Structure 1
Amino acid sequence: MSDLSVSFEFFPPKTEAMAEKLWASVEKLAPLKPSFVSVTYGAGGSTRERTHATVEKIVQNTDLPVAAHLTTIDATTSEVDDVLRSYWDAGVRHIVALRGDPADGVGERYVPAPDGYAGAAELAAGAKRIADFEISVGCYPEKHPESPSFEHDIDLLKRKVDNGATRAITQFFYDNDVYERYVEMVRKAGIDIPIVPGIMPVNSFRALTRMAKLCNATVPARYEKLFGHLDDDPETRQLVAATVAAEQCHDLAERGVDHFHFYTLNKSELTYALCHMLGLRPKA
């Protein structure tokens, strides 16, 4: 599996202690030479300044290619365009274009901002008008929770590709058959960009089940048996989580997947262990 590549996702820290933890994770994972690292953007643009500061620090202090997340929520097109220009000026050449979730929380009805971009497809087109950004977008193997059908989801993905997207990163999932069926549907629709699996190792079972409900991701019943009583036993949970996630990644690799996007939650240990088990080693 020496031909595998990876990318890592971080979120902007809220406190100095969290910033130190994030930077320790970046330094631990950087020697694995990821294809890129991405930095998330809070609901309603709530982390705009912290996201930009985190992106800028990684750009200035490492040689890692950085992808900055950007959403359409609660911002006019001119405000979003200003952010895009500031990213380009800071040396960012890769954007993860997302519709985003309402500031009131996932599950609230999405309403485009007045004079704002209508969604991720329009944001992708806007980014391309500003500069020649590489554009990644999101996709949902189990269907977006607000979407009426898979056909609707795939039509949206098609529009994103038409507007410049060259990669789609999935929401996390735990059933590889679900991912494979989704890729088959996407290919039948004539979409040929990479559909990169988003991998979320179990860092907290309580938090995972809460997130899964919000984003329409299925947590297998066996995970309750594996993790249900381990939130207060982090050392055992981490061992079990590494084993389970490695099994998932190895199976995906056998099905032809050659790139994995890890949701690190700003923790390096599990992600580093998974990369090691996939055969990735620090490069001199």
Structure 2
Amino acid sequence: METPNISIEFFPPKTPEGAEKLRVARQKLAELQPKYFSVTFGAGGSTQQGTLATVLEIQSEGHLGAPHLSCVGGTRDSVRAILNEFKSHNIRRLVALRGDLPSGYGGAGELRYASDLVEFIRLETGDWFHIEVAAYPEMHPQAKSPQDDLQNFVRKVQAGANAAITQYFYNPDAYFQFVDNVARLGVDVPVVAGIMPITNYTQLMRFSEMCGAEIPRWIRLKLASFGDDSASIKAFGLDVVSQLCEKLLAGGAPGLHFYSMNQAAATTAIWQRLHGTQAAA
């Protein structure tokens, strides 16, 4: 069986040391031959220049880079300027998101939702960009209901999105149910599964609380039982996430998008586990 189609996400480093660590991690992760590397931004687009600089460095190394673009707090003019800058650097892929309001921030901006952003990108740039949007198998934490969340996703696709990347999750049934639900609503774009390696229990709990990702009770209890034994946490996390990826790929997921946290080891270990399993299949 062929190697799974993967992509890998980074965040823009804030210090020279962080930038150097990311270069080292990226060099190792490039060996996995990901389809592209995506680069996030801060609340309200606060690291947009850092995002672009990281994407340009990725491109200079011969890889495909995809910046994340947020519309929250922005204007049509400011988004247009960013799109033109991306085009000037021959960036052809981006991840379009509403984004989170920074604390103390007043309004949402001229483009209120990701569907508005996607529609604006298409009006301004035609089919120049391959646009990825977010999907939430366990429901966006701010959605009114699961049905409302599905309709929001459909609007993003109808506005012109090419594909979607999910929030991370550990229950494969949530993913398959989401894909079935949107298919029934007439949506057939690829929905790539977002994968968060498990390497740190406290960090995982904090992230999951913020983004509304469910950690199944059996996983939480097992991780908590390891205390400060980081080696056991990483070994258990590798087993859990590798098995999740195997189920997703076996069930027809079109790809895996790894939230690397600018680290190479965990994503590489999962990929090697999958590669070994699939090569033997």
TM-score tier by shorter-chain length is over 0.9
Report the TM-score when normalising by structure 1: 0.91
What corresponds to 1:12 in structure 2? 12
What corresponds to 1:202 in structure 2? 198
What corresponds to 1:183 in structure 2? 179
Q: Which runs of 5+ in 2 are unaligned?
A: 277-281
What corresponds to 1:78 in structure 2? 77
- Give, in whole Å, the separation in 1 of the partners of 2:241 and 2:123: 39
2:129 to 133, 143, 155: 133
Q: Secondary structure at the match of 1:147?
A: coil
Residue identity over aligned pairs, in percent, reads: 36
Q: Secondary structure at the match of 2:31?
A: helix
Q: Secondary structure at the match of 2:275?
A: coil
One-letter code aligned to 1:236: S
Cα contact 1:33–1:64 (8 A) shared by 2 = no
Task: Spell out, residue by residue over 1:191-234, the C-alpha distance to the aligned partner (whole angstroms, 9 max, x if none).
Answer: 00011110001122111112212222111111223222546333
What corresponds to 1:30 in structure 2? 30
What corresponds to 1:124 in structure 2? 118
2:237 to 237, 241, 246: 241
What corresponds to 1:100 in structure 2? 99
Cα contact 1:173–1:217 (8 A) shared by 2 = yes
Q: Secondary structure at the match of 1:35?
A: coil
- Give, in whole Å, the separation in 1 of the partners of 2:107 and 2:188: 30
Cα contact 2:41–2:48 (8 A) shared by 1 = yes
- Give, in whole Å, the separation in 1 of the partners of 2:265 and 2:142: 34
Q: Which runs of 5+ in 1 are unaligned?
A: none
What corresponds to 2:62 in structure 1? 63
Work out whether 1:261 is the aligned partner of 2:257.
Answer: yes
Q: 1:174 deviation in Å?
A: 0.5
Cα contact 2:169–2:214 (8 A) shared by 1 = yes
- Give, in whole Å, the separation in 1 of the partners of 2:268 and 2:227: 21
Task: Spell out, residue by residue over 1:34-81, the C-alpha distance to the aligned partner (whole angstroms, 9 max, x if none).
Answer: 111100011111111211111111112x22111110101221111111
Q: 1:130 deviation in Å?
A: 3.1
- Give, in whole Å, the separation in 2 of the partners of 1:234 and 1:16: 27
One-letter code aligned to 2:117: L
